[in-house]
Amino acid sequence: MKDPKEVGRLAFRKEGNMYRAYYTLPDTMEGALYLGELHISVADNDDARKAFIKLMREVITKVLKELVGDGVTSGEPIIKEK
């Protein structure tokens, strides 16, 4: 079995009054795919933000599995606020 290879990542960013989710290449935001957003007043609630992050991880995992098959896994999240 091959070692897993990182082909993309979820990026979460505070932009204005929104908390946005993107799927992008590992080292850049160039060409990022916009996934969704949450108003910052909701995202300020830890439980709501964690639920949004969980939902975005589930969405992108499902989409990638449909595109490339069952070899898709998601690693432990590393949250970097920007």
Averaged pLDDT in 10-residue chunks for the chain of 82 residues: 69 96 90 94 95 92 80 55 46
Taking the model in full, what pTM does it have? 0.76
Please check whether residue 9 is in contact with residue 26, taking contact to mean a CB–CB distance below 8 angstroms: yes
pLDDT at 72: 61
Query: 37 forms bridges with which residues in the sheet?
Result: 20
Q: What are the backbone angles phi and psi of residue 9, rounded to the nearest 5°?
A: -155, 160
Instruction: Tell me what pLDDT residue 82 has.
Output: 46
Residue 43 has what pLDDT?
A: 95
How far is Cα 82 from Cα 73, in angstroms, rounded to an integer? Answer: 25
